[in-house]
């Protein structure tokens, strides 16, 4: 009884401090789950309640919370050094090891890495690289896209209602409908670059068709525009392949990554050819791009450990089978109209936004953490750790089914 009172008191204190000091970025009420510890696919709050993290902390914990390999790598590196110099000046073995391992799973066109702290920064660097390449200014993205919240990345945002608040943003930006082959004719020799998600996240888990991505690659080749893929959420095995673009065979000029890269630590990167990356050295008076903390040694060793787990523990071959297991559960829930996506990047379409929101709230009450996309509130996101077991999937889907029945009864 005393422990329960202490836990309640601690949670009340934390809620007060959260409300008092932590700035919020949305009008939507935060979950305010008071996190105490996490392990594998589970998270516990300060009251001792256990939750299944079925979104991997928004596609970050691809191999689960506090994977032993990541923890060992962090502990070893902490005995050596932390930050020693701004990115790109000192030779740091964690960066070398990670870059070598990363390039080994990428096509030969993508073999030079620029490490950063986040996906937004990766997008910013990719845009700058494109401008150095062809000295054009028009940038094209797609409706319902999301590429980050820094000013340049927000300029590409696929929702005008959000973008308009912060105007003026980057000039000469245009948006095209996604998966529309005819619209690609609007990419011209005035276009600097095209930025695309291979599977749209904020738009409600919308997968680019092979035909669309292949036609987009051809059109960029015809016009000299650079093709930039945003795989910030879909990278590192989430689709069942290292990167979702592999299915279409349409390789980008620049690949942006983050989130699931770091095993729970903050890191991002953009990757291109050596020829393209050399432009950062010789097409400007001083700094083509810069980052103080980019490629932080702790983040790099965690990212390498995560990559090695995905590569060596049979994780990738199991992703599509786990997708199928989730699909079999969803087939037994009539209120779900459609299950979108690929691998363990999935979205359950409900009849309307109000229903989806209630389902998310009931799931949380019942011990399951799910979420909804930024711009399509009719969808409930499923992006569990790739290392989730079949038993854990069954447990999660039982909670989801019960939550849907509570809402839709």
Number of compact structural domains in the chain: 2
Residue 257 and residue 299 in contact, taking contact as beta carbons nearer than 8 Å = no
Examine the fold and report which residue of 312, 342, 369 is the final residue of a domain before the chain moves on: 312
The CB-side HSE value for 311 (13 A sphere, CA atoms) comes to: 13
CATH of residue 37's domain is 3.90.1150.10
Top-confidence residue, 5 or 43: 43
More confident call, 223 vs 374: 223
Helix (H, G, I), strand (E, B) or coil at 47: coil
Q: Cα 85–236–258 angle (5° rounding)? A: 40
Domain that holds residue 144: 68-312
Tokens 């060992």 map to which residue? 72
Whether residues 54 and 146 share a domain: the answer is: no
Provide the percentage of residues in the chain whose pLDDT is more than 90: 88
| Among 208-217, 224-233, 274-283, 346-355, the least confident range | 274-283
pLDDT, one tens digit per residue, over 170-209 is: 999 999 999 999 999 999 999 999 999 999 999 999 999 9
Rounded Cα distance between 67 and 190, Å, is 47
Residue 161: the pLDDT is 84
Q: Are 110 and 255 in a shared domain? A: yes
* Those residues with Cβ within 8 angstroms of residue 44's Cβ, 6 or more apart along the chain or in another chain: 35, 36, 37, 38, 50, 51
> Which tens digits make up the pLDDT trace of 317-326?
999 999 999 9
User: At which of 270, 292, 312 does a domain end?
Assistant: 312
pLDDT beyond 90 at 109:
yes
CB 34 within 8 A of CB 15: yes
**pLDDT reported for residue 211:** 98
Q: What is the mean pLDDT of the chain?
A: 95
Closest by CA to 371, choosing from 157, 56, 144, is 56
Judge whether residue 289 has pLDDT over 90: no
- Do residue 103 and residue 200 come from a single domain? yes
Indicate whether 233 and 173 sit together in one domain. yes
Mean pLDDT (whole number) for 361-379: 95
- Tell whether the model's pLDDT for residue 5 goes beyond 60: no
Q: Indicate whether 45 pLDDT > 50.
A: yes
Which residues 6+ apart lie within 8 Å of 142 measured at CB?
Answer: 158, 175, 176, 177, 178, 196, 197, 200
pLDDT at 247 over 60: yes
pLDDT confidence band for 1 (50 / 70 / 90) = very low
Distance from CA of residue 54 to its chain's centroid?
A: 14
**How many C-beta atoms surround the C-beta of residue 91 within 10 A?**
7
Residue with the bigger pLDDT between 161 and 220: it is 220
Is residue 289 domain-shared with residue 166, that is, in the same domain? yes
Predicted pLDDT at 283: 67
Return the pLDDT at 8. 64
Average pLDDT value for residue range 220-232: 98
Task: Encode pLDDT of 263-287 as tens digits.
Answer: 999 999 999 999 999 999 876 667 7
| Distances 213 to 15, 108, 201, 234, 252 between C-alpha atoms, Å | 46, 19, 16, 15, 10
Q: How confident is the model over 330-350, as a mean pLDDT?
A: 98
5, 30, 256, 349 from 50: Cα distances, Å? 18, 19, 34, 26
Q: What is the CATH number of the domain that holds 180?
A: 3.40.640.10
Domain match, 35 and 74 both: no
On whether the CB atoms of residues 142 and 157 are closer than 8 A, the answer is no
Are 369 and 196 in contact, with CB atoms under 8 Å apart?
Answer: no
**Tens-place pLDDT, residues 55-106:** 999 999 999 999 999 999 999 999 999 999 999 999 999 999 999 999 999 9
Q: Are residues 200 and 220 in the same domain?
A: yes
């Amino acid at each position: 009884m005393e422990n329960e009172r202490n836990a309640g008191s601690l949670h009340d204190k934390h809620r007060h401090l959260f409300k008092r000091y932590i700035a919020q970025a949305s009008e939507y009420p935060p979950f305010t789950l008071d996190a105490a510890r996490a392990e594998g696919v589970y998270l516990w709050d300060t009251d001792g309640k256990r939750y299944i993290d079925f979104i991997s902390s928004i596609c970050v914990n691809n191999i689960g919370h506090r994977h032993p390999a990541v923890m060992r790598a962090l502990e070893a590196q902490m005995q050596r050094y932390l930050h020693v110099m701004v990115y790109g000046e000192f030779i740091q073995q964690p960066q070398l090891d990670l870059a070598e391992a990363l390039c080994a799973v990428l096509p030969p066109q993508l073999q030079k890495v620029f490490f950063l702290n986040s996906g937004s920064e990766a997008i910013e660097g990719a845009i700058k690289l494109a401008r150095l390449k062809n000295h054009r200014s028009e940038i094209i993205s797609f409706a319902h896209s999301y590429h980050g919240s820094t000013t340049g990345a927000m300029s590409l945002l696929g929702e005008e209602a959000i973008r308009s608040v912060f105007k003026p943003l980057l000039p000469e930006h245009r948006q095209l409908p996604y998966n529309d082959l005819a619209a690609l004719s609007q990419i011209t020799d005035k276009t600097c670059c095209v930025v695309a998600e291979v599977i749209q996240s904020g738009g409600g888990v919308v997968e680019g068709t092979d035909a669309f991505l292949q036609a987009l690659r051809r059109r960029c080749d015809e016009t000299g525009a650079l093709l930039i893929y945003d795989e910030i959420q879909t990278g590192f095995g989430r689709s069942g392949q290292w990167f979702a673009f592999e299915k279409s065979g349409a390789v980008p000029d620049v690949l942006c990554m983050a989130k699931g890269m770091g095993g729970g630590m903050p890191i991002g990167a953009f990757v291109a050819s050596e020829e393209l990356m050399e432009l950062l050295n010789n097409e400007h008076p001083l700094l083509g791009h810069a980052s103080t903390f980019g490629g932080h040694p702790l983040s790099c060793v965690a990212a390498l450990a995560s990559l090695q787990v995905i590569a060596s523990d049979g994780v990738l071959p199991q992703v599509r089978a786990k997708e199928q297991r989730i699909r079999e559960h969803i087939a037994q829930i009539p209120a779900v109209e459609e299950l979108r996506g690929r691998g363990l990047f999935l979205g359950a379409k409900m009849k309307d936004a109000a229903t989806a929101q209630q389902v998310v709230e009931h799931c949380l009450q019942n011990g399951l953490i799910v979420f909804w996309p930024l711009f399509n509130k009719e969808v409930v996101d499923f992006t569990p750790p790739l290392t989730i077991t079949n038993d854990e999937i069954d447990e999660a889907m039982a909670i989801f089914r019960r939550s849907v029945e509570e809402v839709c009864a």
